[in-house]
């Protein structure tokens, strides 16, 4: 089993750190995962990033191998827990990447902790309850964590819910979901659904002052592209990068997506110190 365990804010969280060069320029990139997923789903994406970059991934309470808490949580509470986790790891400043559900957590971190969060990557994500939703058929499949427990089922429903490469690369889908470590906590999945159902970022997006890269697929059934365009208009220093493909293409195309992320994280920007 990969990773180590950190206790913070009453949670027991599994954390995995890929150590980079460790100097002052090595700002760690924190990965926030999609609903129900464990940190292993980011493996291919991490391979496409600079090997000298420190990358921190973790299992949200109730997902992967992190046990479900006794009570539901909000994104604000979870963001506070993540920053304390990073403090324990010795990192006072960080970049954050949020994928799908984890994009909400990334937005919350950026807004709630602007002095600690340097840059933000929002990947295949939206603005919560005020976003343009997916079609009912897609939402129905997303209502349970079965695709994380059953790789064959994941490959079956992937073309409908993920679009893009999932329609032509079923083996790639099996590879992503087949290596997931998970306790398949129904309670944890419900807590994640509940947190998302009570959260919206539209009111505070203009208050996110960090440089933001929005990565969005042009064939994403879960997060229609119009959501990314709306976020770009509302976040002051946001740039939109559209890739051909669907919701989990970034987890299958580490070279292309990793290159876009690295270019953004290393570019000079006058807004870094705002």
Q: How confident is the model over 189-240, as pLDDT tens digits? A: 999 999 999 999 999 999 999 999 999 999 999 999 999 999 999 999 999 9
From the candidates 38, 44, 66, 100, give the one annotated as an active-site residue.
100
Q: How confident is the model over 59-114, as pLDDT tens digits? A: 999 999 999 999 999 999 999 999 999 999 999 999 999 999 999 999 999 999 99
CB 17 within 8 A of CB 56: yes
Task: For the chain, list the domains and their CATH numbers.
Answer: 4-266 (3.40.50.1820)
Catalytic status, residue 201: no
pLDDT for the residue numbered 162: 92
pLDDT for the residue numbered 215: 98
pLDDT for the residue numbered 190: 94
Mean pLDDT of the chain: 92
For residue 141, name the pLDDT band (cuts at 50, 70, 90).
confident
Q: How confident is the model over 240-273, as pLDDT tens digits? A: 999 999 999 999 877 899 999 999 999 986 555 4
The model carries a pTM of: 0.94
Q: Encoding tokens for residue 104?
A: 């909400």
Q: Provide the 10 A C-beta neighbour count for residue 79.
A: 24
CB under 8 Å to 33, separation ≥6 — which residues? 39, 41, 42, 57, 59, 60, 63, 64, 99, 100, 101, 102
pLDDT for the residue numbered 230: 97
- Whole-number Å distance between alpha carbons of 215 and 208: 17
pLDDT for the residue numbered 273: 47
Name the more confident of 191 and 142.
191
Name the more confident of 54 and 143.
54
């Amino acid at each position: 089993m990969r990773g180590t365990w950190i206790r913070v804010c009453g949670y027991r969280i599994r954390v995995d750190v890929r150590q980079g060069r460790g100097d002052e320029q090595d700002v760690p990139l924190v990965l926030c995962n999609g609903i129900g997923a464990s940190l292993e789903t980011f493996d291919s994406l991490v391979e496409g990033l600079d090997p000298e970059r420190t990358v921190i991934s973790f299992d949200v309470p109730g997902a992967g191998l992190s046990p479900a808490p006794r009570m539901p949580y909000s994104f604000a509470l979870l963001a506070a827990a993540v920053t304390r986790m990073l403090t324990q790891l010795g990192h006072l400043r960080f970049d954050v990447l949020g994928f799908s559900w984890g994009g909400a957590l990334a937005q919350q971190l950026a807004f709630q902790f602007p002095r600690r969060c340097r840059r933000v990557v929002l990947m295949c994500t939206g603005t919560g309850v005020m976003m343009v939703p997916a079609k009912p058929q897609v939402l129905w499949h997303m209502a349970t964590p079965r695709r994380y427990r059953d790789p064959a089922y994941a490959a079956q429903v992937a073309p409908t819910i993920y679009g893009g490469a999932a329609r032509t690369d079923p083996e790639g889908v099996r590879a992503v979901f087949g290596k997931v470590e998970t306790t398949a906590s129904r309670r944890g999945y419900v807590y994640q659904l509940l947190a998302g159902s009570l959260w919206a970022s539209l009111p505070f997006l203009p208050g996110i002052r960090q440089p933001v890269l929005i990565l969005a697929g042009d064939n994403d059934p879960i997060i229609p592209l119009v959501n990314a365009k709306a976020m770009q208009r509302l976040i002051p220093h946001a740039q939109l990068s559209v890739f051909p493909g669907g919701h989990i293409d970034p987890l299958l195309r580490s070279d292309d997506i990793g290159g876009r992320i690295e270019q953004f994280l290393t570019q000079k920007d006058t807004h870094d110190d705002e």
